[in-house]
Amino acid sequence: MALGISGRSAILIASSRGLGRACAESLAREGVHVVINGRTEADVLRTCDELRDAYGITASPVVGDATTPDVHDALLAACPQPDIVLLNGEGPPPTAFGDIDAARWADALQRTMVSPLLFVQRVIDGMQQRRFGRIVAISSAMVKSPNPLMSMSHGPRLGLAGVLKGLSKSAVAHNVTINTILPERFDTGRQQQMAQLVMRFKGISYEEARAEQVASIKAGRLGRPGEFGDTFAFVCSAQAGYMSGQSIQLDGGSYEGVF
Amino acid sequence: MALGISGRSAILIASSRGLGRACAESLAREGVHVVINGRTEADVLRTCDELRDAYGITASPVVGDATTPDVHDALLAACPQPDIVLLNGEGPPPTAFGDIDAARWADALQRTMVSPLLFVQRVIDGMQQRRFGRIVAISSAMVKSPNPLMSMSHGPRLGLAGVLKGLSKSAVAHNVTINTILPERFDTGRQQQMAQLVMRFKGISYEEARAEQVASIKAGRLGRPGEFGDTFAFVCSAQAGYMSGQSIQLDGGSYEGVF
Amino acid sequence: MALGISGRSAILIASSRGLGRACAESLAREGVHVVINGRTEADVLRTCDELRDAYGITASPVVGDATTPDVHDALLAACPQPDIVLLNGEGPPPTAFGDIDAARWADALQRTMVSPLLFVQRVIDGMQQRRFGRIVAISSAMVKSPNPLMSMSHGPRLGLAGVLKGLSKSAVAHNVTINTILPERFDTGRQQQMAQLVMRFKGISYEEARAEQVASIKAGRLGRPGEFGDTFAFVCSAQAGYMSGQSIQLDGGSYEGVF
Amino acid sequence: MALGISGRSAILIASSRGLGRACAESLAREGVHVVINGRTEADVLRTCDELRDAYGITASPVVGDATTPDVHDALLAACPQPDIVLLNGEGPPPTAFGDIDAARWADALQRTMVSPLLFVQRVIDGMQQRRFGRIVAISSAMVKSPNPLMSMSHGPRLGLAGVLKGLSKSAVAHNVTINTILPERFDTGRQQQMAQLVMRFKGISYEEARAEQVASIKAGRLGRPGEFGDTFAFVCSAQAGYMSGQSIQLDGGSYEGVF
C-alpha cells in the first residue's frame, strides 16, 4: 500500500530506541526524511546511519532531552517545516501517590504534557498553512484505565490527550490530523527493565517476570515494535487525513471497555 | 508498506458499491482474493470483473441479501476458509422513535445485529484454528453519538459493537482480531440519496443539501471511499494483529468526545 | 433531603424482588404511589401490602411478564399517567456465543431491548406534555465492559442504552430525563443463584463461591439493595431534572475505565 | 431521604459562592458541619453565618486561596478529620492555544490539578483509617468534550480526573469514594460574567448573550445551583458508598456521547 508520504519530512522526538525508533524506521521505509532524537549520542547516530543506509533518506541527528526549549530549537533547525511530528518520551517511574510532592508533579507535567504541547505550538500553524500535518503522540493504555501506582504517568498523559483532542477539532479543516496511540507492553528495552524491577521486587526469576508480562496481555504475547511503527506510519499516511482526534489502543486487545 | 496478506482470502458482505466496494478494492490491490456480495447482479459481476482485471486476484460473485442463511451458505461455499471478513450492510432509514413498532425493531435487529453475528459464528472457530483472522464491521459514527431520529441504526449497531468487543477478548489469543470502523459522511451513493431526501424535505437545492453535509464535518469535506478502504486494509494487515476490540472513527475529526 | 416527588406515580417493571423491589421501596418512602409488577402473584401482592402498610401510599399489583403488550396494557390501566418508570427485567443466562442461534437472539432482544422501548413509546409523549418524567433503566456494568459469555445480556442492553441516550436528547427539554443505572453484584437472589451455579460448575462450596463474588468487587463487599434503591430515587427526584442521558455505575468502584 | 451523614464534617474548598456554596448548603441542611473557604472574607463569613443560622451546624471560615499549602494547613486546622472533601476552584479564562506559554501552563496545572491532589494526599489516609470518606471534585463537562479555546481548563481537569479515578480503585475498599461532577452552565455569577464577556465580544445585548447560553443546553434552561448541591450531597451520603470513580454530568442532558 502506498502511503503517499515519500519525500515528506518528520521530526521524531525520542526515536533512537524502542517504539520511537520503530516509528522512524516505518517512516523511512516509506521515503520520509527523518530527524532522529535521543539523549545518547551513539544511539542517535547509529539510528541515523542505519536508516540512511537502508532506505536512502535523509536522517538528521539531534542529541538531547527534547523536553527543553533548546532541543526544540535544534529539532526545528534540523527541519524547519515538518510534515509529521512524533511526540514521545520516557514515562515516569511507578510512584506511590503519597510520595508525589509538588516538585515531582511539576516535573512530570512539564516533561510529559507541557513540553509536547509547547512543541506542537511551534509547528501547528505552519502545518495548517501548508495544508498537511500529521501529529501523533505515543501515550499509554493506562490513560483509559488508570492504575493507582502510575499517577505521574496517566495524569499528565490524560491532560495531554485532552488538549490534543481539543486542538484536533480545529486543525482537521486544514488537513492537519492529531491522533494518539496507546501502547501496552511492547517488546522493547522498557519492558525488559520493568521485568528486572519486578524480578527483584517479587523475588522471582527474569523468565517468570517476563511470563507475567505476557500473561497480562490478552493476545498472549508482547507487541512487536514493527507493529507499532507500521500503525504509526499508516496514521501519518496521506489517506489517513479523514481520521483525527482518535486514541488507538495497541494493547493486544487487552482493554476491557467497549469504547 | 507491505501488508503481509497477499494470497489470503476475504469474504466481503455488501461490497459491490460504496464503502464495501472500496474495502474490496484496497484488499484486492494487496493481492487478497475476494468474494464480492451485493443484491444487484450487474453490480456484483462488474465489481468482480474490474478487480480481477486490475489486480489479477480471484474475485467470486455471490448475489443476494446477505442477511439470510442462504446467502451465508453461498458466501461460505465460495470461500470455505476466509481469512478476512467484512461485515457490512445497508443502514435502516431515518424513522421517528414513535413509529418503530415491534416488527420494525425485529427486522432492523435481525438485519443489522443478529445476521452479522450468525455469520461470525460460522467463521470464527476456523479462523482461530488456522491462527489468522481479521473481522471488521462497518458501523456508524452515531453509535458513539446517538441521534434520536436514527434509533433503528444506532440501537442494533451498538448491540453489535458490544458483542463483537466481548468476542474480541477471547479471539485475540488466536491471532483473530475483531474491530469496528465508524464512518461519517463518505462521498458515496448513500450520501447522495440523503442529500436528495434533505433537498425535498427542506425545500432546498441539491447543492445546498450537499453543502450542509460538508458543513457538518469538521474536516470541511466528505470522506473519500479510498480512505476508508485503505484504513480497512490496514486493519486487516498481518501487522495489525496486536490491535483488537477497537472502534476507529473515520469522520473527518467530527466526534466531540475525548474517547 | 426532600426529593420533591411525594404524590407522584410510578410504574416499576419487575419490582417484586431484588433491585426492582428496592427501587419501589425507596420511592414509596418518599410518598410516591407505585405499581408493582412481577411474575409471581404472591411476591407482587406481598410487596404491595408491605409498602402500603409501611408508607401509606397506593400500591397496585400487576402480575405477569412485562415483556408482553398485555402486561404493558395492564400497567398503564393501573397507572395511566406515570411520572416515573422503571425499566427492569431478568437478565438472560450466561451462554457461549456459539450456542446463540437466531431464535435465542430474537428472544433476548425482544425481552431486554425492544419490549422496554415499546413501553417507553407509550409513556414518553404524555410525560413530555405534563412536563415531568423520570425514566430509569436497570442495565448491567457489563455494557461498558463486555464479557464474552454474556453476549445475550450486554448486546441487547447496549442497544437499549444507545436508543435511550438518543431519546434523552430531545426529551430533556420537556423535563423528562432518561438515565441508566449499571449495577454489579448486589446482594440479591440473583447473586445467590449465580453462586450456586458457580459452586456446581467449579466444585467449590457455596461460601467459596460467595467469596469469589466479593473478591471481584473493589469495594470488598456486595452492594446492598437499599443503596441501589436510594440512588434510583435520587435520579427520580425533582432536583435531578438537569441530569439526563447518564449511565451511572453502581459497582463498588470496580469499573476500570476513566469514563 | 435520610442521607446518614448528620454530624459528619466537611471541608469545602471554594464554597463561599456559586456551586461550592450550593454544595455547602445542601450538606448543612443534612446536619453536616462545614468549613467554608473563599478568597473574599465577607463572602466567607456571610456564608458561615447564614448556614449556621439556618441549619444549626458548625460553620468555620477559612479565608484564602486554597491552592496554597498555607490555606491547606488552615483548612485542616479547622477540621483535622474531615469525612467529606469538596475539591473546587475557579476555572482559568478562555485562552487561545497559541498564547499558553510554559508559565501559564505551570500555573493552571498547579492550581487546577496539583493543588487538589496535594490536598487529597493529606486527607485520604485518615479517611481510609476511619473507614469513611467522600471526596468529590467539581470539574467541567468539557473534560469529556474538549473545546480548543479552553485547553487550560480541560487539560488540567482531565489530568485530575484520571489521577482521582486511579486512586478510587484502592480507596473504595475502605469506604472512601472519589467521584467527579461535571457541570455545564449553571446559573451562577460565573455564567453572568461569561455572558458579559460574550456581550462585549460579539456586540450583542446581555439578554441575547444569556439566551445563547440557554440555547446551548438541551434542557432549554441553565442549571439551578441547588440541583448541583443536592446531587453533591447525595454522592456524599452514607448510601452512596458503593458508587466510586464516577464522572456524573450535570449538563441539562447536553453531552452527545453514549458514555
**pLDDT, tens only, C18-52:** 999 999 999 999 999 999 999 999 999 999 999 99
Cβ of C143 and A256 within 8 Å? no
In chain C, domain spans? 9-184+224-250, 187-222
Q: Which of A148, A160, A258 sits opposite D166 (nearest CB)?
A: A148
Chain A CB contacts of C256 below 8 Å: 145, 256-257
Question: Across-strand partners of C62?
Answer: C37
DSSP tag of C87? E
Average pLDDT over residues A138-157: 95
DSSP tag of C186? B
How far is D101 from chain A, CA to nearest CA, in Å? 7
Residue D93: predicted pLDDT: 85
Contact status, residue B118 vs residue B147, Cβ threshold 8 Å = no
Average pLDDT over residues D180-184: 97
Average pLDDT over residues A189-193: 90
* Strands laid side by side in the B84-87 sheet: B59-63, B33-38, B9-12, B84-87, B133-138, B176-183, B247-250
How far is C218 from chain D, CA to nearest CA, in Å? 6
Residue D39: predicted pLDDT: 97
Enclosing H/E stretch for C84: strand C84-87
Please check the confidence at residue D159 and state whether its pLDDT lies above 90.
yes
Chains that touch A (3 or more CB pairs under 8 A): B, C, D
Cβ of B1 and A169 within 8 Å? no
Contact status, residue C224 vs residue D237, Cβ threshold 8 Å = no
Q: What is the mean pLDDT of chain A?
A: 97
Residue B93: predicted pLDDT: 85
How far is A62 from chain B, CA to nearest CA, in Å? 27
Residue B91: predicted pLDDT: 87
DSSP for D239-259 reads: GGTT--S-EEEESTT---S--
Q: How many Å apart are CA A26 and CA A164, to the nearest integer?
A: 23
Chains that touch B (3 or more CB pairs under 8 A): A, C, D
Chain B CB contacts of D143 below 8 Å: 258
* pLDDT band, very low/low/confident/very high, at D178 (cuts 50, 70, 90): very high
How far is B257 from chain D, CA to nearest CA, in Å? 5
Neighbours of D245 (CB within 10 A): 29
How far is C118 from chain B, CA to nearest CA, in Å? 7
What sign for the dihedral angle of Cα D134, D140, D142, D143?
negative
How far is A246 from chain C, CA to nearest CA, in Å? 16
Chain C CB contacts of B118 below 8 Å: 101-102, 105
Give every CB contact of residue A250 below 8 A, 6+ residues apart in sequence. A181, A182, A183, A184, A186, A223, A227, A228, A231, B242, B243
Which cell goes with C65? 411478564
Please check the confidence at residue B230 and state whether its pLDDT lies above 90.
yes
* pLDDT band, very low/low/confident/very high, at C93 (cuts 50, 70, 90): confident
Grid coordinates 406515580 are at which residue?
A: C9
Q: Which of A143, A256, A259 sits opposite C256 (nearest CB)?
A: A256
Give every CB contact of residue D2 below 8 A, 6+ residues apart in sequence. none
Cβ of A159 and D158 within 8 Å? yes
Q: How far from chain centre, in Å, is Cα A194?
A: 18
* pLDDT band, very low/low/confident/very high, at D219 (cuts 50, 70, 90): very high
**Per-residue burial over B9-32, b = 16 or more CB atoms within 10 Å of its CB, e = otherwise:** bbbbbbbbbbbbbbbbbbbbbbeb
Domain covering B9-185+224-250, topology: Rossmann fold (3.40.50)
Average pLDDT over residues A72-94: 96
Chain D CB contacts of A159 below 8 Å: 109, 113, 155-156, 158-159, 162
* Strands laid side by side in the C247-250 sheet: C59-63, C33-38, C9-12, C84-87, C133-138, C176-183, C247-250
Which cell goes with D243? 458508587
Cβ of A256 and C258 within 8 Å? no
Please check the confidence at residue B256 and state whether its pLDDT lies above 90.
yes
Nearest CA in chain B to A159: B258
Q: How many Å apart are CA B10 and CA B21, to the nearest integer?
A: 13
Grid coordinates 432546498 are at which residue?
A: B204
Residue A69: predicted pLDDT: 97
Please check the confidence at residue D244 and state whether its pLDDT lies above 90.
yes
Residue C91: predicted pLDDT: 87
Neighbours of D88 (CB within 10 A): 23
Strand ranges (E), D139-237: 176-183
Give every CB contact of residue C211 below 8 A, 6+ residues apart in sequence. none
Q: How many Å apart are CA C164 and CA C137, to the nearest integer?
A: 9
Give every CB contact of residue C200 below 8 A, 6+ residues apart in sequence. none
Which of A164, A190, A193, A189 has its CA nearest to residue A177? A164
- For chain B, the residues whose C-beta falls within 8 A of a C-beta of chain D are 143-146, 158, 256-259
Chain D CB contacts of A258 below 8 Å: 259
Which of C159, C161, C178, C160 has its CA nearest to residue C169? C178
Q: Which of A218, A220, A230 sits opposite B1 (nearest CB)?
A: A230
Q: Which of B109, B162, B259 sits opposite C143 (nearest CB)?
A: B162
Q: How many Å apart are CA C57 and CA C5, to the nearest integer?
A: 12
Cβ of C237 and D230 within 8 Å? yes
Q: How many Å apart are CA D108 and CA D97, to the nearest integer?
A: 13
Residue A63: predicted pLDDT: 98
Enclosing H/E stretch for B169: helix B151-171
Q: Which of A1, A231, A253 sits opposite B230 (nearest CB)?
A: A1
Q: How many Å apart are CA C106 and CA C41, to the nearest integer?
A: 27
Domain covering C9-184+224-250, topology: Rossmann fold (3.40.50)
Chains that touch D (3 or more CB pairs under 8 A): A, B, C
> Which pLDDT tens digit goes with each residue over B51-68?
999 999 999 999 999 999
Chain C CB contacts of B109 below 8 Å: 105-106, 109, 113-114, 159
**Per-residue burial over A182-211, b = 16 or more CB atoms within 10 Å of its CB, e = otherwise:** bbbbbbbebbeebbeebbeeeeeeeeebbe
CB–CB contacts below 8 A, B to D:
22
What sign for the dihedral angle of Cα C95, C99, C102, C107?
negative
Q: How far from chain centre, in Å, is Cα D230?
A: 13
Q: Which of D143, D145, D158 sits opposite B256 (nearest CB)?
A: D145
Give every CB contact of residue D255 below 8 A, 6+ residues apart in sequence. C245, D141, D144, D145, D249
DSSP tag of D224? P
Residue A91: predicted pLDDT: 87
Chain C CB contacts of B97 below 8 Å: 117, 121, 124, 163, 166-167
Chain D CB contacts of B146 below 8 Å: 258
> In this structure, what is the dihedral angle of CA atoms D138, C245, B186, B162, given to the nearest 10 degrees?
100
Q: How many Å apart are CA A200 and CA C205, to the nearest integer?
A: 37
Q: Which residue stretches of chain A are H helix?
A: 18-29, 41-55, 69-78, 102-109, 115-130, 151-171, 189-202, 206-215, 225-235
Chain D CB contacts of A146 below 8 Å: 162-163, 165-166, 169
Cβ of B163 and C147 within 8 Å? no
> Which pLDDT tens digit goes with each residue over D2-22?
999 999 999 999 999 999 999
Residue A255: predicted pLDDT: 96
Strand ranges (E), chain D: 9-12, 33-38, 59-63, 84-87, 133-138, 176-183, 247-250
Please check the confidence at residue D150 and state whether its pLDDT lies above 90.
yes
- For chain C, the residues whose C-beta falls within 8 A of a C-beta of chain B are 97-98, 100-102, 105-106, 109-110, 113-114, 117-118, 121, 124-125, 143, 146-148, 150-151, 154-163, 165-167, 169-170, 258-259
Nearest CA in chain D to B158: D258
SS3 C44: helix
Cβ of C29 and D240 within 8 Å? no
How far is C195 from chain A, CA to nearest CA, in Å? 23
How far is B87 from chain A, CA to nearest CA, in Å? 18
Average pLDDT over residues C129-157: 96
Chain B CB contacts of C155 below 8 Å: 113, 117, 159-160, 162-163
> Which pLDDT tens digit goes with each residue over C144-203?
999 999 999 999 999 999 999 999 999 999 999 999 999 999 999 989 998 998 999 899
Cβ of D162 and A154 within 8 Å? yes
SS3 B172: helix
Please check the confidence at residue D91 and state whether its pLDDT lies above 90.
no
Chain D CB contacts of C239 below 8 Å: 224, 226-227, 230-231
Q: How many Å apart are CA C73 and CA C69, to the nearest integer?
A: 6
How far is A158 from chain B, CA to nearest CA, in Å? 10
Nearest CA in chain B to A29: B1
Chain C CB contacts of B258 below 8 Å: 259
Contact status, residue D247 vs residue D157, Cβ threshold 8 Å = no
* Strands laid side by side in the A133-138 sheet: A59-63, A33-38, A9-12, A84-87, A133-138, A176-183, A247-250
Nearest CA in chain B to A27: B1
> In this structure, what is the dihedral angle of CA atoms B121, B126, B132, B136, given to the nearest 10 degrees?
-20
Average pLDDT over residues D115-139: 98
Which of D83, D85, D87 has its CA nearest to residue D8? D83
Q: Which of D1, D169, D175 sits opposite C1 (nearest CB)?
A: D1
